[in-house]
Structure 1
Amino acid sequence: MPVPAPPAALDDSPAARRREQRGWYFYDWANSAFYTTIISVFLGPYLIPVAKTAACAKDFPAIASDTCVTDFDKLAAAHPGLGYVDVLGADIRPAAFFGLTLTIAVLLQIVALPVVGALADHTGRKRELLGGFAYIGALATMCLYLVEGDRYMLGGVLFILANLAYGSSVVVYDSFLPQISTPQERDGVSSRGWAIGYLGGGLLLALNLVLYLQHESLGLGEGMAVRISMMSAGLWWAIFTIIPLLRLRNRPVPVHEGTALGSVGGSFRQLGRTLAELRRYPLTLLFLIAYLVYNDGVQTVIGNSAAFASEALKLDKTVQITAILMVQFVAFFGALLLGWLARGFGTKRTVLASLVVWTLIVVAAMFVAEKQELQFYLMAFAIAIVLGGTQALSRSLFSQVIPKGREAEYFSLLQISDKGSAFIGSLTVTIALQLTNSYRIAIVSMIIFFVVGFVLLAMTNLRKAIEAAGNEVPARL
């Protein structure tokens, strides 16, 4: 049996790398529309009334739908045992439905992402996997346009599918980073990708907010404006994914099983080896834990910022929306700024300094007065400066401490540590609110995440971690 010829070497010249890098940036531009338009702003507030409409039709059919939805909480309180929707045989309150779908989506990602990463490394067909996951997610997002009336289950299923595809595509996307950049280029490439993502997500969100705020003058109902906005996020995702698919290239991998079933089986075996071999890289594991801790603080602060604005500061929806937009565009420059600082002061020092800034931000939250819009905008501005840079430089550092040929597997661990730890910060906020009924104290409780994450990262000897993974140590860390 003839031995297959080795694959031709890829052009790895600086010009070829820059071409791939420019294409790679555009996937952040493409998929950020899903996170900003769907998750951050529109889907939750839209899906809950849809679930209430279904509950009204089931339990309060004599009351007009619009009136029932408006007075739903009062009606449900006055009729114990009524006002629920059915989710696979369980009675769920409409207000909890979006949170339930988000929880299911996260749990599915925790199960699926390691397999996706192993499959990407095992087959080497990263470009095809990136495109497949991206277009499944984009199509599911576009189909959210069909969610109206009482179709809450359709909305939940589409969101879970889109979110799972989104997370899977990001694992594959991140795994390209060490393949398309040298150790010296890594910080800048990661920071530019993150920055462009904020710009793309912010631009579409701005257009959708104009549509939403002006829907009456355009002859559209509020629900139709939201549905068009959600569909546009999927369309944006689909169109701009074409660019990275044209630019990115697969790298050769050792010959594996030829069948799809064999590839999946091999991927599971490879994943098992990765988890077992992680003990050989204790410093990589220490960095992963440090990232898990401080990134949980970052995600919890961002996730609770709207509630903090409304509950603690008594600010209206307009202020919250304009702050979200400001964060998107300022974070573009913030990510580039921290990338530039990393070149001069070192990546690790820059991330540590950003964690000090995060600590100061949550302390300052205690002293922001009610109804003080300017103070809230200043706090949001400070968050935007460090938000993208903290995450982009952390991604760059992680890419340095993982072994070659296993990039997608290890980035899947980074993603599930992100998803799987999210409940810890949320639980901390919940406990603080339960004990104190104060959103200020709840936000300040995030200090522990930034302090512990700072200490763990400071303890991580990155030079030794990079050498242990068999990688070239960059000139400045």
Structure 2
Amino acid sequence: MNYTKQERNWVMYDVGNSALVLFNTSVVPIYFDAINTGASSAELVTAWANAQTVASLVVALLMPVLGSLADYAGNKIKFFLGFFLTGLVLCFAQAIPMGAMPFLVVYVLCTIGLNSSMTFYDAMLPDITTDDRMDTVSSSGYAWGYIGSCVPFIVCILLILVGPSALGLDMLFCVQVSFIITGIWWLAFTVPLVRTYKQRYAKELAPGETFGGEVVKTICGLGTTMRRIAEDRAILIYMIAFFFYIDGVHTVISMATTYGTSLGLDSTALILALLVTQFVAFPSAIAYGSLAKKYGTLRMILIAVAAYVGIVLFAAFFLKSEVEFWILAVVVGMFQGGIQALSRSYFGKLIPKERSNEYYGFFDIFGRYASVMGTLLVSVVTSLTGDASLGVLSIGILLVVGFVMLIRLSRIKGLA
């Protein structure tokens, strides 16, 4: 694909932030387990799920108001920069040696900065491309993010695995240095987007209106935006469907390594398997963007949701060994990038462009609260039963509900 400069630099941010996402979902849970001595496997899963829940909840509460404010001309890049820099500083801060609970607090705050910046980043999509290119550009972001994130990740894994024996370094120290490497990578691939991004669609301030008045007007206008969403059946049903099905996606991503660790699987094998996921996800996300043009975006989302139902069932009933975890990693890679990319681009086609951040703010509520519900379900069910497999199985219900809602949407909007 021939990218415009705006499209290319937008895709590059996915390359940068995906490095931290990959590191957070693979190495960080194992690092947390190492510094959280004396905890049982069920306690580890519960603590990690609670941390994910808190981070998702805070982002979900912030985004509607901040998203609406960001739709005013010139604001989107300011909010994006603020949360990006917050996440970056706290990414570096995780390299400081500390106890398990202080580390978990810093991790949660870093995750809030990362995920909030990604909400504003998603809302930039209508500004940097056109509707007919949106599926392909969105898929390219995820695809290059997957493959690009492998570069610093491999460097970090080599440091962690080889550093103690070859260089005489402490393994925990190697992990701490890896936070710095990942942060530098994130920064390097963010600079081009910040330098070239232009907000094409924006709300304008009324004559004489100040920023304070803008804030009051935004808060008062949230009810109006909610009514607009409720009155558009296609947007409303899609957001409800997204709320349920994205839960399974986010929970599988955030809990995979922790779940594997709780089953007693080797941590090195888990990390390498997730690296395979990245390589599989690269061509799969690109293919998903192309298939969406041929068969329709909504149809491809339906296929991915059905696949995730199978993934959850496999994880709950059959995942017992490293070989099975590798199989799961490959299958997840086939659908993970596609479902995220097409969910983002399909929503961008449905909403008014000049209010993209406002709508993506509410979209993020549905996505983040889904994450809250999924990780909370895992936490509660695992705590009550002492069985992490039952916790994983519980989110299959949410995926099925999302699938049913998408079927309903297809009857209203048509498979497109």
TM > 0.5: yes
Q: SS of the counterpart of 2:137? A: helix
CA distance in 2 between counterparts of 1:101 and 1:455 reads 30
Change (3 A) 1:156 1:435: closer
Query: Are 2:234 and 2:412, in contact at CA under 8 Å, matched by a contact in 1?
Result: no
Q: Check if 1:186 corresponds to 2:134.
A: yes
Aligned residues: 411
Query: Are 1:44 and 1:98, in contact at CA under 8 Å, matched by a contact in 2?
Result: yes
Q: SS of the counterpart of 1:374? A: helix
Q: Supply the AA of the counterpart residue of 2:358.
A: E
Deviations for 1:246-269, whole angstroms, at most 9, x for unmatched residues?
222123532346644333333323
Tell me which residue corresponds to 2:304. Answer: 354
Query: Are 1:30 and 1:197, in contact at CA under 8 Å, matched by a contact in 2?
Result: yes
Tell me which residue corresponds to 1:332. Answer: 282
Tell me which residue corresponds to 1:270. Answer: 221
Tell me which residue corresponds to 1:472. Answer: none
Tell me which residue corresponds to 1:135. Answer: 85
CA distance in 2 between counterparts of 1:380 and 1:295 reads 18
Tell me which residue corresponds to 1:29. Answer: 15
By how many angstroms is 1:306 displaced? 2.9
By how many angstroms is 1:276 displaced? 3.2
> Structure 1 length normalisation: TM-score?
0.77
Tell me which residue corresponds to 1:64. Answer: none
Equivalent of 2:241 in 267, 279, 290 = 290
Indicate the structure whose relative CO is greater, using CA pairs within 8 Å and at least 6 residues apart: 2
Change (3 A) 1:94 1:343: closer
Deviations for 1:103-139, whole angstroms, at most 9, x for unmatched residues?
4333321221112211110244322332232222212
Q: Supply the AA of the counterpart residue of 1:25.
A: V
Q: Check if 1:205 corresponds to 2:153.
A: yes
CA distance in 2 between counterparts of 1:281 and 1:331 reads 33
Change (3 A) 1:101 1:342: closer
By how many angstroms is 1:47 displaced? 4.6
Equivalent of 1:303 in 239, 254, 265 = 254
Greater Cα offset, 243-252 or 300-309: 300-309
Q: Supply the AA of the counterpart residue of 1:26.
A: M
By how many angstroms is 1:32 displaced? 1.4
Tell me which residue corresponds to 1:320. Answer: 270
Query: Are 2:56 and 2:372, in contact at CA under 8 Å, matched by a contact in 1?
Result: no
Q: Check if 1:404 corresponds to 2:353.
A: yes
Query: Are 2:53 and 2:376, in contact at CA under 8 Å, matched by a contact in 1?
Result: no
Q: SS of the counterpart of 1:406? A: helix
CA distance in 2 between counterparts of 1:161 and 1:429 reads 22
Can you give the 5+ residue segments of structure 1 that lack an aligned partner in the other structure?
Answer: 1-13, 53-68, 75-92, 466-475
CA distance in 2 between counterparts of 1:431 and 1:99 reads 9
Change (3 A) 1:459 1:374: same
Q: Check if 1:221 corresponds to 2:206.
A: no
Change (3 A) 1:263 1:343: same
Q: SS of the counterpart of 1:122? A: coil
Equivalent of 2:293 in 337, 340, 343 = 343
Tell me which residue corresponds to 1:78. Answer: none
CA distance in 2 between counterparts of 1:151 and 1:375 reads 30
Change (3 A) 1:183 1:114: same
Query: Are 1:113 and 1:167, in contact at CA under 8 Å, matched by a contact in 2?
Result: no
Tell me which residue corresponds to 1:374. Answer: 323
Can you give the 5+ residue segments of structure 2 that lack an aligned partner in the other structure?
Answer: none
Q: Supply the AA of the counterpart residue of 1:194.
A: Y
Could you say which structure has the higher helix fraction? 2
Tell me which residue corresponds to 1:6. Answer: none
CA distance in 2 between counterparts of 1:263 and 1:156 reads 35
CA distance in 1 between counterparts of 2:99 and 2:380 reads 34
By how many angstroms is 1:437 displaced? 5.4
Change (3 A) 1:258 1:164: farther
By how many angstroms is 1:316 displaced? 1.4
CA distance in 2 between counterparts of 1:195 and 1:435 reads 38
Query: Are 1:187 and 1:339, in contact at CA under 8 Å, matched by a contact in 2?
Result: yes
Tell me which residue corresponds to 2:71. Answer: 121
By how many angstroms is 1:300 displaced? 2.4
Query: Are 1:23 and 1:246, in contact at CA under 8 Å, matched by a contact in 2?
Result: no
Q: Supply the AA of the counterpart residue of 1:344.
A: K
By how many angstroms is 1:463 displaced? 7.3
Query: Are 1:140 and 1:234, in contact at CA under 8 Å, matched by a contact in 2?
Result: no
Q: Check if 1:177 corresponds to 2:125.
A: yes
Equivalent of 1:420 in 369, 372, 377 = 369
CA distance in 2 between counterparts of 1:102 and 1:274 reads 28
Q: Check if 1:105 corresponds to 2:91.
A: no
Tell me which residue corresponds to 2:25. Answer: 40
By how many angstroms is 1:407 displaced? 0.4
Greater Cα offset, 130-139 or 437-446: 437-446
By how many angstroms is 1:421 displaced? 1.8
Change (3 A) 1:464 1:342: closer
Q: Supply the AA of the counterpart residue of 1:34.
A: L
By how many angstroms is 1:311 displaced? 4.5
Q: SS of the counterpart of 2:163? A: coil
Change (3 A) 1:367 1:280: closer
Change (3 A) 1:100 1:342: closer
Q: Supply the AA of the counterpart residue of 1:387.
A: Q
Superposition RMSD on alpha carbons, in Å?
Answer: 3.0
Q: Supply the AA of the counterpart residue of 1:112.
A: L
